[in-house]
Amino acid sequence: RIEQADFAAIMIEEPESRFIVEPMVLLNSDAYDFCPTIYGKDQDEMIFASSRESSTGTDEDPITGQAFMDLFRSEQDKKGRWSEPEPLGNTVCTEHNEGSACFDSDGKTLFFTRCMDMDGSNLACDIYFAKKQGNGFGASMALGLVNRDENDSSQVGHPALSPDDQFLIFSSDLPGGFGGKDLWYVKAEEGSFAGAVPQNLGASINTAGDEMFPAFRDNGDLYWSTNGRDGLGSLDLWKAEVREGELAFAEPKVLPFPLNSSGDDFAISFKADSDEGMFTSNRVGGKGKDDLYSFRLPPLEFCYQAFIYDYDTGMPLSGATVTLEGEDGSANAYTTDSEGELALCDGQIGQRMTFNVDVAVEGYIGTGDLLTTEGLTESTTLAREYLLKEIVLNKEYDMPTVLYPLGSADLLVDASVNSADSLNYLVDLLQRNENLVIQLEAHTDSRGGAVANKKLSQDRAETCVNYLKDAGIPSDRMVPVGYGEEALLVSDAEISRLPKADQERAHQRNRRTVFKIIAFDYKGDE
């Protein structure tokens, strides 16, 4: 087992993640500022807990040694600046200790933690809720998840509502857990948590340490902080991705640096449909005891560079048309410069996007490929080189090998070659170049009679044409021609001088198919 300090040293040596973390200097004070919750239609409002001088309670928190905390609210303007924090009001903020909070999905009900001083050394914490009324909140009421007596100082707090409002997860030291504080949950019945019996979230999440400050992302992923797992500091942020089933989650994963640090990092809150949010940390360099930090994951930046050249001469082809067709059917065409180059950057190629690329130059056989940023985790320049062959009528063009068994017109498929796949090269070529008409030429080896070989080669050419027809290529764009043994690549004399093991391979080279372009003005049915 890696000890905590050793593990932290290993983690800090790892490359940073792409997250950008910044202190929220306009909101932080020299006191405790923690547990941010982002809410509002435009996600431009937030509440957080603070022990700053303007908080209501005058008693001292036995844990922090600071004054009791209140919940404060701030609003973001059009320029992204947060307003001066103000207490939520006396229906929520009292002489007691108010902290960690969340809203239901429509933002009309606030759930928060309130702790009362039991005897000067212990706090009894419960979850309360209050309905929004105008710009404020109505009277707050306890959920009553614990039936406590006057000597019971059980801690029940840090509420987090699932995106569908059906489950309330919270942190508690209730009996029957796995450690100090565990994550527990209750399920709503007819829209209410009243009378619900807390259930432990289980050993896949909870440890022998403390699990606290749970939060849901809008996709159902669960986040929380714990000191019971190996991480960077004593309290680290973890996540478990949602899975099918009731409160089913994947294996927990620690969040990367700089979200986590060698200090305490906890109470994360995401903006809806965004990789931005806030969390709390007491890391080195802060303003107060605990501070609020913002985080964002900048978008990956992708560039696409195309270099278009003549296949035979290597000369750049200016004026080439490069068309990118998206999965949604949208298409954008671009033109190469005098050097045969095209560069697309500045957000034109986005994350998790796939394009069919088509490259066309007048008088050349068009080509293309598939371009995708799916699965890429780093900013990348996607460079492609396209070599286009000039159209020369009746010139024999090479293509991927199409071979046949001895004496057969069937396509050869074995461990070394798949002639059906080879013909897909022609399918793609003819689909990209709808003006071409080709002649498919099949050849045999010299074994067997000349007449029989002539017929066999014609059958082989027609096999190829039928394959292309089945792939949707019109039959009047293809002419099958069999040449028999009239044009051997390897003569019988050359074959006879080869080692026995190589002779069959030479005969197989003679059993081949090539194509010629015989017209490039096909228009089809107009």
Q: Read off the tokens for 110.
A: 């606030």
Judged by DSSP in three states, 516 sits in strand
User: Which residue ranges of the chain lie beneath pLDDT 70?
Assistant: 1-16, 57-66, 118-123, 149-153, 526
User: The sheet that has 86-87: what strands, in order across it?
Assistant: 33-39, 45-50, 70-75, 86-87
The pLDDT value recorded for residue 62 is 61
State how far the Cα of 320 lies from the Cα of 325, in Å rounded to an integer. 16
The pLDDT value recorded for residue 59 is 63
State how far the Cα of 427 lies from the Cα of 419, in Å rounded to an integer. 13
Mean of per-residue pLDDT scores for the chain: 90
What the chain holds in terms of domains, given with CATH numbers, is 4-296 (2.120.10.30), 302-388 (2.60.40.1120), 396-519 (3.30.1330.60)
Is the link from the previous residue into 258 a cis peptide, with omega within 30 of 0? yes
Indicate if the alpha-carbon torsion angle 105, 110, 111, 112 is positive or negative. Answer: positive
The pLDDT value recorded for residue 66 is 66
Dihedral angle of Cα 168, 170, 172, 175, to the nearest 10 degrees: 30
The pLDDT value recorded for residue 5 is 40
The pLDDT value recorded for residue 63 is 65
Q: Read off the tokens for 142.
A: 């306890």
The pLDDT value recorded for residue 61 is 66
3-state DSSP: the chain helix, strand, coil percent, rounded to 5?
10, 40, 50
The pLDDT value recorded for residue 421 is 87
The pLDDT value recorded for residue 492 is 92
Dihedral angle of Cα 120, 126, 131, 137, to the nearest 10 degrees: 10
Instruction: Fill in the DSSP letter of residue 82.
Output: B
Long-range contacts of 323-328 (CB under 8 A, 24+ apart): 323/357, 323/358, 323/359, 323/360, 324/355, 324/356, 324/357, 324/371, 325/355, 325/356, 325/358, 326/353, 326/354, 326/355, 327/353, 327/354, 327/355
Provide CB contacts within 8 A for 352, sequence distance 6+: 373, 374
The pLDDT value recorded for residue 439 is 96
What's the pTM?
0.72
State how far the Cα of 228 lies from the Cα of 341, in Å rounded to an integer. 55
Beta-strand ranges (E) seen in 435-521 are 437-442, 478-482, 513-519
The count of C-alpha atoms lying within 13 angstroms of the C-alpha of 103, restricted to the half-sphere facing its C-beta, is 23
The pLDDT value recorded for residue 58 is 64
The pLDDT value recorded for residue 237 is 97
Q: Read off the tokens for 156.
A: 């029940």
Q: Read off the tokens for 289.
A: 């005891």
The pLDDT value recorded for residue 496 is 93
Instruction: Fill in the DSSP letter of residue 239.
Output: E
How far CA 407 is from CA of 322, 410, 447, 503, in Å, comes to 44, 9, 9, 16
